[in-house]
Amino acid sequence: MSHSNFKAFVFDAYGTLFDVHSVIEKCNELYPGKGEAISRVWRQKQLEYSFLRQLMGKYATFLAITRDALHYACKEAGAELTEDTEKQLIDSYLKLQHYEETEEVLNKLQTYRTAIFSNGSFDMLNPLVDQSPFSSLLDEVLSVDEVKQFKPTPMSYQLVLDKLGVRREEVLFMSSNTWDIAGAASFGFYTAWINRQGKVMDELGVKPHYEYGDLRGILAHVE
């Protein structure tokens, strides 16, 4: 497929455009000595609960799941979660720093359709995108909340086609999450794995079409 055939560049939010590290810092600040463990389990359960709820047919917003996962992580670590610390930690998700190259890359994609497509619900995504310097550079912010189907289900990725009015093979989808790349590739999108930490691809029978250390790599596909 020649580079010019892409019509839409679609990005996952967390870990792809926005660095979730500040959440870890906030955990460490509020729970010295336990922050590392809390943030690791919090993220693990956040994903696990979204996958489990999808399988059980019990949808809840990503914000509700994020809160539940935090409660679990604190209980497991034997750390007391107060109303105040919970608010501070959840709020840290609304103020994430973006990766340094994000704005530059989005600027160079202005002749294409650009969108975020995230498992995050609008109550998490909208404040996050609004406080970033590139909100005006995105055509759409799409959330699975519109279809109540979490990625990596095929029905979730269908939302991208419906909203952007493109065909599967006209989409280049970017994520730092291997499970999201596997889901998108298996749905029929072209995929670029943004492998910032030099991780290993999951063994799910699909490989990313491209792999880059940061978002600048995708500029190879711009005319």
Structural element, H or E, at residue 117: strand 113-118
Rounded Cα distance, 153 and 58, in Å? 14
Residue 114: both structure tokens together? 């650009």
Label the pairing between strands 18-19 and 97-98.
antiparallel
Residue 28's Cβ-count burial label (10 Å; 0-12, 13-18, 19+) is middle
Q: Locate 3 and state its tokens.
A: 């580079």
Nearest alpha carbon to residue 192 among 217, 210, 219, 171: 210
- Is residue 12 flagged as an active site residue? yes
For the annotated catalytic residues, the residue numbers are 12
